[in-house]
C-alpha cells in the first residue's frame, strides 16, 4: 500500500546506473536526434515545487548540511520531460530544476544524480526532506542552476526503475539537462555549457557515466563536461553484489533483492521467483519492489540478510556471475576506466558500512591507470548517508576552485 510520507531512507544508495537526442536550442523542444531518439529533453510539464528565501534555504539545511555557503533564495520546479528507457523506447521522466534568486543571467550548471531509491515519491522532485532536495537547494543557493533527475521510473515518470542500467541513466540525466535549459530559458536565464556533475551512491557511477558521455561530445550538441565529484559510489558493481551475497555489507539482502528484481525485468535473470528467493518470500519480493512501497515497508517484510532471503544456488551465481549477468555487470565495473580531461574529486566516508572505501580506491586506481588527475577525499568517520551530507559543502568548494582555473 502506498505511504504518502517516508520517514526512513535506509536505502539512500548503492548500486548504480544510465541516450540521447538533441535539444539544439533552448527554445526548441527537440531539433534533432541521436540513435533515432526524437525529442529527448522536450518539456512536458512544469510546476513550482518550492520558492524559498536564503534564510528559508538555510533553515531547511540546518542540522543536516552546513548552510554557511547559502547566498541566495531558490525557486525549484517539478519538471516532466521526454527521455528513453533501458530498451531505448520513448518514455517520460521527472526531475527537480532549481534556480537561484539572483540577478545573474548566465548560470553555472550542476547535474545532481541521486542514490538508491525504492519508493518513487522519495526523490528530489517529490520529497522536500530528501537528501537530494537538500543537495539541489544547496547548489542553487550558491548561484548555480541544478538539474536533479529522478531517473526513469521514479518520481512521476512512467514504468519501472531500471536500477543499474547505464543507457537509461545517461538518457534521463542528459535529457534532464536539456529540459532544465528550456526551463531556465523560459525564466530569462541561460545555462553555461560546462556541467558540474556530482552524485551519491548509485549516483557515483552515474556521475562517471554521464561525465564520459558529455566529454565524448556525442551525448549533446550543447553541454560539455566541466568537473566530476562522485560520492560513496559502488564503482565495482560485481564486487558490491558479491559482498551483498556474502552479507558483508549493511542491508545486504534488501540491496541485492532490488538489484535482482530490476535486472530480471531488463535481462531475464531467472524463470521463476522460486528459483531465486526462499519461501515464503518468493511470493512477495517482486511486488514489494514496485515503486509504491517505502524502504521501511520493504524492510518490515523481508529479512535483511541475503542468506535468509535467497537460495544458496542463486547466491553462488551472484558470487561468480556468468553469461548475461557477467556481460551486463562489466560496464558497471568500469565506469571510472577512462581519462577525464577535467578536475575529479572522489569523496567517501571511512565509516560507510554500505559502500566501503575499497570502491573509491578502485575508481581512483582506474583513473590513475588512464593518466587522469584526481583527488581522493575521506570526509570522516560517517555512515553512508552521513558521508554525502559531509561531502556536499566540500563539493561546492571544489566547484568554486575548479571554476577559477577554468
pLDDT at 215 over 60: yes
Q: What is the pLDDT of residue 7?
A: 37
Domain spans of the chain? 21-235+344-405, 237-331
Q: Note the pLDDT tens digit of each residue in 368-406.
A: 999 998 999 999 999 999 999 999 999 999 999 998 765
Distant-in-sequence, close-in-space partners of 59: CB < 8 Å, separation ≥ 6: none
- Residue 219, CA atoms < 13 Å, CB-side half-sphere: 29
Residue 37 predicted with pLDDT over 70:
no
In order of 122, 283, 284, 288, 380, the CA distances from 277 in angstroms are 26, 9, 10, 13, 37
Top-confidence residue, 80 or 37 = 80
Superfamily of domain 21-235+344-405: Alpha/Beta hydrolase fold, catalytic domain (3.40.50.1820)
Residue 405: the pLDDT is: 67
pLDDT at 151: 98
Tell me if 207 sits within 8 A of 229, measured CB to CB: yes
Q: What are the tens digits of pLDDT across the range 94-128?
A: 999 999 999 999 999 999 999 999 999 999 999 99
Q: Which grid coordinates belong to 274?
A: 522460486
Q: What is the pLDDT of residue 403?
A: 83
Alpha carbon distance 149, 132 (integer Å)? 10
The topology under which CATH files domain 237-331 is: 434 Repressor (Amino-terminal Domain) (1.10.260)
Pairing of strands 74-84, 43-52: antiparallel
Q: What mean pLDDT do residues 12-22 have? A: 32
Whether residue 163 has pLDDT greater than 80: yes
Please tell me the predicted confidence (pLDDT) of residue 406. Answer: 57
* Residue of 17, 22, 404, 371 lying closest to 217 (CA atoms): 22
Do residues 161 and 91 touch, judged by C-beta distance below 8 A? no
78 burial (CB, 10 Å; 0-12 / 13-18 / 19+) is buried
> Tell me, what's the pLDDT at 218?
79
| pLDDT tens figures, 279-335 | 999 999 999 999 999 999 999 999 999 999 999 999 999 999 999 999 999 999 999
pLDDT at 39: 82
Question: From the CA atom positions of the chain, what is the Rg in Å?
Answer: 20
| Total residues belonging to the chain | 406
Q: Would you say residue 14 has pLDDT above 60?
A: no
Q: Does pTM surpass 0.75? A: yes
For the stretch 141-152, pLDDT in tens is 999 999 999 999
Amino acid at each position: 500500500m502506498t505511504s504518502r510520507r517516508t520517514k526512513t531512507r535506509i536505502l539512500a544508495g548503492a548500486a548504480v546506473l544510465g541516450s540521447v537526442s538533441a535539444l539544439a536550442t533552448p527554445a526548441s523542444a527537440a531539433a534533432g536526434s541521436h540513435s533515432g531518439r526524437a525529442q529527448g529533453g522536450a518539456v512536458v510539464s512544469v510546476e513550482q515545487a518550492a520558492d524559498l528565501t536564503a534564510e528559508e534555504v538555510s533553515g531547511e539545511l540546518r542540522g543536516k548540511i552546513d548552510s554557511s555557503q547559502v547566498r541566495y533564495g531558490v525557486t525549484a520546479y517539478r519538471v516532466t520531460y521526454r527521455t528513453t528507457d533501458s530498451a531505448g523506447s520513448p518514455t517520460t521522466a521527472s526531475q527537480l530544476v532549481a534556480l537561484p534568486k539572483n540577478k545573474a543571467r548566465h548560470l553555472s550548471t550542476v547535474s545532481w544524480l541521486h542514490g538508491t531509491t525504492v519508493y518513487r515519491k522519495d526523490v528530489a522532485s517529490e520529497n522536500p526532506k530528501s537528501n537530494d532536495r537538500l543537495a539541489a537547494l544547496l547548489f542553487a543557493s550558491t548561484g548555480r542552476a541544478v538539474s536533479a533527475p529522478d531517473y526513469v521510473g521514479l518520481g512521476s515518470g512512467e514504468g519501472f526503475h531500471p536500477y543499474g542500467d547505464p543507457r537509461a541513466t545517461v538518457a534521463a540525466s542528459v535529457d534532464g539537462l536539456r529540459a532544465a535549459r528550456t526551463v531556465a530559458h523560459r525564466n530569462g536565464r541561460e545555462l553555461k555549457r560546462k556541467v558540474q556533475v556530482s552524485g551519491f551512491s548509485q549516483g557515483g557511477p552515474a556521475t562517471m557515466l554521464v561525465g564520459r558521455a558529455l566529454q565524448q561530445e556525442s551525448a549533446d550538441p550543447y553541454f560539455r563536461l566541466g568537473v566530476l565529484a562522485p560520492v560513496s559510489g559502488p564503482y565495482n558493481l560485481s564486487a558490491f553484489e558479491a559482498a551483498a551475497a556474502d552479507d558483508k555489507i549493511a542491508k545486504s539482502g534488501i540491496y541485492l533483492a532490488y538489484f535482482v528484481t530490476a535486472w530480471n525485468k531488463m535481462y531475464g535473470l531467472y524463470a521463476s521467483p522460486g528459483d531465486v528467493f526462499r519461501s515464503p518470500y518468493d511470493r512477495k519480493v517482486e511486488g514489494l519492489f514496485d515503486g509504491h512501497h517505502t524502504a521501511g515497508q520493504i524492510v518490515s517484510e523481508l529479512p535483511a540478510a541475503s542468506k535468509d532471503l535467497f537460495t544458496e544456488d542463486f547466491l553462488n551465481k551472484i558470487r561468480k556471475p556468468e553469461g548475461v549477468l557477467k556481460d551486463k555487470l562489466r560496464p558497471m565495473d568500469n565506469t571510472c576506466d577512462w581519462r577525464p580531461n577535467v578536475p575529479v574529486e572522489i569523496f567517501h566516508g571511512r565509516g560507510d558500512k554500505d559502500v566501503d572505501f575499497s570502491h573509491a580506491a578502485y575508481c581512483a586506481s582506474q583513473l590513475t591507470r588512464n593518466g587522469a588527475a584526481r583527488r581522493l577525499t575521506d570526509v570522516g568517520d560517517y555512515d553512508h548517508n552521513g558521508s554525502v551530507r559531509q561531502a556536499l559543502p566540500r563539493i561546492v568548494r571544489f566547484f568554486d576552485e575548479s571554476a577559477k582555473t577554468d
